[in-house]
Copies of this chain bind each other. A is one copy, B any other.
């Protein structure tokens, strides 16, 4: 299971082999390489947390806000929470109308940990967006009115080449508008959970742009192709926590408190959806309560609360970001 975490070891061993060959001749090189390879098992047993420089058993979390750019109410809540410091990472939806607002914020806050929330759907009813690529280049992604599909039917054919075109268009627009993303993830997990073909597209694009993608070991059982496609250079988080519609509003804080108190060692991403429950967000999400306006206000409230800070201290949980993970990935 740890074979995906060997990048640093590989880089070290490759360099040693190379320099040894250059300066000391083949035999010395061979001996040194053999020696280094002999200590590999110890190195490869390092967890992601250890590779980040933490003691074994440390509990690390990324508190990650999804969907920035989708509405102003989400941008406003997320940026306020980021400034307060307990929400410490987020990803941006490039095709959405409020992307310029959050791109402008990203430019003036270059240390903010912002990824791109690669978006292939426009899942609301009264408020919608189309693709970034020209409509006629991505016909399998858009409905008859030119919006990204509200949903994907079971047997709908989404063309992987068109997905690649759209992902590249989203990343290029973000770069052109001054965003320097630290990672990539997938809106509604479409690129993760639709099948190997689409996951491979995301992975190929991520490699090309040298960006880590959000994948957790928790998903391997249900989506074994993830593990098959990931290589030794890819970061894999240990766990993820996200609240589900089954949790009633009055149990919201309780759910997160339980998750934090029972947190396993390693790196866990809390995928949350903060937003302000105002006129705009209520109108934009009014067709259903899931991931709606009140839901997002509850997420904002918990993750900016004193209670959340206290539990972090009490449980000795540390916050990390994708920026640090990316450094592990690239060895910088």
Contact = CB atoms under 8 A, between A and B. Distances in A.
A207 to B, nearest CB: 25
A276 B128 CA distance: 21
A235 interface: no
Given A96-B97, A278-B280, 6 more contacts: A72-B279, A98-B126, A100-B125, A133-B135, A136-B136, A145-B173
Contacts of A76: 279, 283
A52 interface: no
Contact of A126 (B101, B130, B284): B101
Contacts of A129: 97
A24 interface: no
A176 interface: yes
Count of identical protomers in the assembly: 2
Contacts of A104: 125-126
A231 interface: no
Contact of A145 (B71, B133, B176): B176
Interface string A97-110: 11111001000000
A222 interface: no
Q: Across chains A and B, which 4 residue pairs bring their CB atoms closest together, nearest first?
A: A280-B280, A101-B126, A134-B135, A134-B134
Interface of A: 71-73, 76, 96-101, 104, 125-130, 132-137, 144-147, 173, 176-177, 276, 278-280, 283-284
A57 to B, nearest CB: 44
Contacts of A137: 134, 136
From A99, A134, A278, A283, name the one whose CB has the most chain B CB atoms within 10 angstroms: A134
A125 B104 CA distance: 9
Given A72-B279, A280-B279, A283-B101, A134 B132 contact: no
